[in-house]
Amino acid sequence: GVAPLGQLTLQKEHQIQFQLMEATFYHMPQPCDSERLRNYLQRQPVQTPPHYPQQQLPHSDTFEFFQRLSTETLFFIFYYMEGTKAQYLAAKALKKQSWRFHTKYMMWFQRHEEPKIINEEYEQGTYIYFDYEKWGQRKKEGFTFEYKYLEDRDLN
Amino acid sequence: DRALSGPTSYIHSGMLQARTTDVVDTDGFAEKTEHLFRHWVYTYHNEMNGRDPVKYFGSFVNRMNFLGVLKGDEQLTKFFTIATKMCIEASYRNLADTTITQAIAKTKTYHWIDAYVRLIALLVRHSGDGSNSNTKLNLLNKVLGIVVGILLQDQEQLHGANFQQFGYQRIFIMLFLELSAHDAILENISVGVVTAFCHTYHMLRPANAPGFCYAWLELISNRVFLGRILAMIPQQKGWFMYSQLLIDLFKYLAPFLRNAELAKPVTVLYKGTLRVLLVLLHDFPEFLCDYHFGFCDVIPPNCIQMRNLILSAYPRNMRLPDPFTPNLKVSTLADITTPPRICTNYTAAIQPASFKKDLDSYLKQRAPVTFFAELKRNLQISNEPGSRYNIPLMNALVLYVGTQAIAHIRLKNQVPSKQTVASSAHMDIFQNLAVDSDNEGRYLFLNAIANQLRYPNSHTHYFSCTLLYLFHETNSEAIQEQITRVLLERLIVNRPHPWGLLITFIELIKNPEYEFWKHDFVHCAPEIEKLFESVARSCMVKTNN
């Protein structure tokens, strides 16, 4: 380095500043400090080998990208990344694939066939749903999907 | 340093009260408050699960009322002081717990802080009636002041070198995010909220709270904060405030950077600063343009790249002609007649008032010559090498004289050129500074000129002509060598390079009238010679085609 104006001895106050800064240098802020608390998937920074991807793919935060993900991946994102943009995009992608969210059971349903009954209040028929406790898709026959439990916000 | 009126006064009173609040609990108020607050944290996580707290908030306010917390200022201050201290104590207690990992220690602490922050946000939002923003902002400022007071006390007296920044950082960032939510009432007070946080961060600037400096940089460069203060507040009202925070940062770094001995803790902070500047250069170039003068004033002369980042900024709607275009006629560009916007009051730095008066009178009458003795007396402030000169005065003087010169040339219906900048009161001053200064003074003077070589505008054009004129008109190799040095040292660093700087340097080495290649200093050492040749090759390459 160069110091065109020559060296200056640090003043006492600067030395004190440096000492406090050096002490705090050993406990730096971490990304999680300024983010909402994550219940699952907390950040765990580790040194990864340089030949591994260090960054996410470009455009992986777009709706188009999420549409290419498997249904199970979308369910994983939905349940394990609560309150994030990823959750929003996953929900949007699931809706696009005709999955509907049931706000009482907190599960996603998809018509297996045309419902047998459709009226103002509900529809009834055979549905596929994703069971987040057993972590898998299940079929339910003769299920009544009441529209008051239908999550119908416009995700735009 | 700011007027102690309006909301700011609440920060200060909160800060002072937090530092003087007695812990002696005669009436059991503190104990009851602790109990109450603990109950809120429990309810927040267990019963409402962080969702829809408004119902619980109502009954909580009733409990607060019952306890007398809302009776007056004193009780309210006590409540926030106790609650803040409980959160911070949790952070130290959890970190000291050897049975849990650090990540768990932090998570446990954030349980306290996130619940507390939500409570503050709700109290702010619901205080006063809906339209009364003063009550809300006064309360917010009060709470922020209390946290500041506790932080400073913690660092100075309580923990010293064992001070932990993350608890405070969490309070500030989460509270800011809470108050930036989409909500009509909060959006009504958003300017006041940003202002309150700006004052808070200014009080916690690294010079005041060095143990908080990394968290502080995180806070001021936070995505949401940056977006709010630079983009969402109308009429760029946040720009000045944000420039003050950056100046706080540069001022703190300056003594460490100017010695060029970068210890690890300084390097990390410096790198963070560069990243913030890069973000600003990319997203808010006009902000860097407007405040470049104030920034250059506090950045040490040897921080070439840091300054280049600021000087390379140009308005986004502008197209810069490629400096390497052969026969580029700068004087024909339309932009060079437009003055740049300078949002720093640099004229105010020309002190004392009597000196400013004499300066103006010299510029008008080109007399008396005794003015130059006065000039020297005012610029030289000590005899200690390396700090002989009043750098802000030098910078202000150079820009002021330059702008006056441009106006003067305009008045004669001319445009700045090597001919029109010559023989005037303005050029007298510049030539005097170039000839009669020692190396240190001349270096600072030439740097002050080079700081104006930016995107195409009237200042860039004028100072480019001036620098070339000074090079041409002197018989002193020393001056020419120093001009070359100042230009070259700003070009041999990594990109970005300011447009005006490149233009000036290319003109110097290309135009035969400067006889650049005949100078001894160009050939003083083989590596310097090689350097010039490689710079020349990159500058000339298109002319040969």
The burial of B513, by beta-carbon neighbours within 10 Å (0-12 exposed, 13-18 middle, 19 or more buried), is given as exposed
Of B218, B262, B385, the CB nearest to A34: B218
Higher pLDDT pick, B102 / B2: B102
pLDDT per residue as tens digits for the range B465-474: 999 999 999 9
Residue A145 parent element (H or E)? strand A136-146
Report pLDDT for B543.
43
B163 close contact with A: CB closer than 8 A: yes
User: Per residue in B127-162, pLDDT tens?
Assistant: 887 678 888 999 999 999 999 999 999 998 888 889
- The size of the A-B interface in CB pairs under 8 A is 117
pLDDT at residue B424 in the model: 93
Q: What SS3 class is residue A107?
A: strand
Q: Which residues contact B431 (CB under 8 A, 6 or more apart)?
A: B470, B473
Tell me the C-alpha distance between B141 and B128, whole Å. Answer: 15
The whole-number pLDDT of residue B262 equals 85
Cα dihedral sign, B66-B176-B244-B236 = negative
pLDDT band at B520 (very low <50, low <70, confident <90, very high): confident
The C-alpha angle with vertex B177 and arms to B172 and B179, in degrees rounded to 5, equals 95
Q: Give B381→chain A minimum CA distance, Å.
A: 15
Q: Could you give the count of Cα atoms lying within 13 Å of B309 in the half-sphere of its Cβ?
A: 18
Average pLDDT over residues B407-411: 94
List beta partners, residue A50. Answer: none
Selected residues 298-317 of chain B with any CB under 8 Å from a CB in chain A: 300-302
> Mean pLDDT highest for which of A57-71, B247-261, B509-523?
A57-71
Do A25 and B155 make contact, defined as CB atoms within 8 angstroms? no
> Do B504 and B467 form a contact (C-beta atoms < 8 A)?
yes
Q: Which of residues 209-228 of B touch A (CB under 8 A)?
A: 210-215, 218-219, 222
A134 versus B45: the higher-pLDDT residue is: A134
pLDDT bucket at B58, cuts 50 / 70 / 90: confident
**Whole-angstrom distance, CA of residue B488 vs CA of residue B492:** 6
The alpha-carbon radius of gyration of chain A (Å, integer) is 26
Measured in angstroms, the CA of A1 and the nearest CA of chain B are apart by 5
Overall residue count recorded for chain A in this entry? 156
Residues 6+ apart with CB under 8 A from B531: B488, B492
Q: Provide, as residue numbers in chain B, all residues whose Cβ is less than 8 Å from the Cβ of A29.
A: 165-166, 169, 214-215, 218
Asked if the C-beta of B385 comes within 8 angstroms of chain A's C-beta atoms, the answer is yes
Residue range B189-203: average pLDDT? 95
Residue with tokens 């110091």: A3
Find out whether A150 and A102 touch, Cβ atoms under 8 Å.
yes
Q: Which range among B153-157, B273-277, B526-530 has the greatest average pLDDT?
A: B273-277
Residue of A nearest to B167 (CA): A33
Q: What is the 3-state secondary structure (H, E, C) of B79-114?
A: HHHHHHHHHHHHHHHHHHCCCCCHHHHHHHHHHHHH
Instruction: Flag whether pLDDT at B497 surpasses 90.
Output: yes
Phi, psi of B136 (to 5 degrees): -60, -50
Residues B359 and B365: their CA atoms lie apart, in Å, by: 10
CA atoms within 13 A on the CB side of B432: 21
Mean pLDDT of chain B: 90
Mean pLDDT of B194-204: 96
As a dihedral over the C-alpha atoms of residue B117, residue B187, residue B228, residue B245, rounded to 10 degrees, the angle is -60
Q: Is B167 on the interface with A (CB under 8 A)?
A: no
Interface probe, candidates B104, B175, B214, chain A, greatest A C-beta count within 10 A: B214
pLDDT > 90? residue B10:
no
**Tokens for A150?**
């239908």
Q: How does pLDDT run across B283-334, given as a tens digit for each residue?
A: 999 999 999 999 999 999 889 999 999 999 999 999 999 988 877 888 888 8
Bridge partners (DSSP) of residue A61 are: none
**Which tokens belong to A131?**
């069971």
